[in-house]
Amino acid sequence: MASSESQLLRPRFGYGGAPVPPFFRRSLRFPFWTSVHTNTHPISKNHLSLRVKMQPEADMMMKPVSDNKIPHVLTVAGSDSGGGAGIQADLKACAARRVYCSTVITAVTAQNTVGVQGVNIVPEDFVAEQLQSVLSDMHVDVVKTGMLPSLNIVKVLCQFLTKFPVRALVVDPVMKSSSGDVLSGSSVLTGFLGELLPMTDIVTPNIKEASVLLGGVPLKSVSDMRTAAKLIHDLGPRNVLVKGGDLPNSLDSVDVFFDGKEFYELCSPRVNTRNSHGTGCTLASCIAAELAKGSSMLSAVKTAKHFIDVALDYSRDLAIGSGVQRPFDHFLKLKNINQSSGRQNMFNPNDLLLYAVTDSTMNRKWGRTIAEAVKAAVEGGATIVQLREKDAETRDFLDASKVCLEICRSYGVPLLINDRLDVALACDADGVHVGQSDMPVRLARSLLGPEKIIGVSCKTPEQAHQAWIDGADYIGCGGVYPTNTKANNRTIGLDGLKEVSQASKLPVVAIGGINLSNARAVMEIGEPKLKGVAVVSSLFDRACILTETRNLLALVS
C-alpha cells in the first residue's frame, strides 16, 4: 500500500489514524486492489501510479470526534428545482451516508431534466447571513461547495471559513450544468484561483471544469488528466480529483486522484444510462460525508466513487422526466416500490423476532445442505437468517449463499452472512454479522454501503454504544445461556441481557443457548429494545427444522 494513504490532513483539521491492521485485510478473502505498478511520467519520474479496479476499501480508520457528536456537513450551493443536483443532491447524498447536512443556498434555479430555464442569484449579504446562522451555532465538521455564482459570494465564503475554521473544505467547482447551461460567471474563476483553492482540501473538477481552471487546456486522455491534476494542485488545493466520466472513447470510468506526491487512477466500468444528473454534486458530498465521519482522504474518495457506481447501475432504467439528464436514486429504493417479492424496505427491527443461525456441523450431522436447512426455517416462520458456515470452502459457500438468497427473498426474509464480507458482497446478501474480533463495523459499513444490514455481537453496554456510533443496525447480545455452538463463550445471563438492552440505542436480539424451555423468560425481561431471539441448535440440531421453527415462533410471538 502506498505511503500516502496514511498521509494526514492539515494539522488544523485535527485528523489522525493508523493503517488497517493486517488481519483486517486478511478477512477480505479476495483482493480489492487488482494491480499496482510504478510508472514514470513527464511531471515527475518519482510519482507512484496505482491503478485500481474500484471496490471500496476503508484503508484508514479514524476515531470518532465524540461519543455524542453527529458528523455534520454544510453544503454551500445552488438549489435545483428538479431535485437531481445542487442542494437537493447534497442533502440526499449525506442522508444516504448517514451524516447530518445543513445548507447555505447561493442561487435558486428553475431546471428540469431538459435544462436550466432560469437562475436567481441570492444576494451575498443574505448568503453571509445564512453562513453566520449555521456556523455560529452548529458544530460543522466539513464544508462542501457547489454552485458559487458570483465573485462576491466566493469572497464572503472565504471570510467565513477564516472566521469559523472547519475540519475540511471540499470544493466542487461547478461552472455549468450537465445540460451545458452556464451557472457561474467568468469573474468567479478569479475567486477560485486567488482565494478559495488555496484553502481547499480537495477539489473535484470534471474534465471540462479542470480545463477552465487551467485556462482552457484540453483534456483528451488519462495522461492529460494526470497532468491537469498536478497543475491544479500547484494552484493550492491539498488534494485533486479529476473526474473522467466525460472522457471520450473510454470503456471505463477513470478518475485521477493526486495528493501532491502520488497519483491514483480509480477505475470502474462505465454505466450506460441517461440517469446521471447530479453525480458531481453527489460525489463531492459523499467525500465530505466520509471525511466528517473520520475517513482518510483517499478512503473517502474511493468510498464515494463506489457509491456513485452502485447508484448509477441501480438507477440505469429509472424514468423520471423527459430530458437527457435525468436524476438517479440515492437510496436504491425507487424501482422496488411496486415489487411484490424480495426486500422492499431498509432494516426492520421486527425482523429480529426469530433469528435463525445455520451451523455447518449440524447440517452434516443430519445430512442436509445449507439450502435445505434455510428453506425449512423460513417456511416455518424464521424472520431473518444468518449463514454461519465456518468450515465451508469459499466457492461452495458462495454457491450455497446464492441459492439461500433466492429462497429467502422469495419469502421476503433478509439473509445475512456471518463474518465473510467477501461472500456477502459477491452474492449481494442483505448484510453481515460480525463479532468483536472480526472486521470493525466502520470498515464493514464503508465497504457495504448504507443500504445493507450490519449486526455486531456485544456483551457490554460499552460495546453496544460503540456499535451505535460505528453505524451498526442491531446488536446480538449474549451468550445468555451456556451453549455448545461457540467455545469459551462467556455467558451474561438475563441480568446482563437486560443491562445491555437498557443501554443500547440499537435494537437487540438475544443469543446463546436459547430454546423452547427458556425463550419465554428471555422475551419477558421487559426491555423495549429487545426484539427477538437468535437460535442455532434448537432449530438446526433437530430432526424437523420446520416443526421446531413453528413451535418457537409461536412461543416468542
Active-site annotation holds for 445: no
What whole-number distance in Å separates Cα of residue 146 and Cα of residue 134?
Answer: 17
Contact by Cβ (8 Å): 309, 54 = yes
Instruction: Give the contacts of 165 (CB within 8 A, at least 6 positions apart).
Output: 12
Contact by Cβ (8 Å): 284, 303 = no
Active-site annotation holds for 486: yes
Complete DSSP assignment for 104-128: EEEEEEEE-SS-EEEEEEPPHHHHH
What whole-number distance in Å separates Cα of residue 423 and Cα of residue 517?
Answer: 35
Residue whose C-alpha cell reads 428538479 in the numeric block: 82
What whole-number distance in Å separates Cα of residue 517 and Cα of residue 520?
Answer: 8
What whole-number distance in Å separates Cα of residue 115 and Cα of residue 392?
Answer: 54
Residues composing the chain = 557
b (16+ CB within 10 A) / e for 393-404: eeeebbebbebb
- Nearest Cα neighbor of 280 from 245, 306, 251 is 245
The CA distances from residue 349 to 355, 533, 552, in Å, are 11, 12, 18
Which residue in the list 208, 261, 335, 486 is annotated as catalytic? 486
b (16+ CB within 10 A) / e for 194-207: ebbbebbbbbbbbb
Which residue in the list 285, 401, 446, 457 is annotated as catalytic? 457
Which residue in the list 97, 388, 445, 459 is annotated as catalytic? 388
Active-site annotation holds for 517: no
- The residues assigned a catalytic role are 388, 457, 486
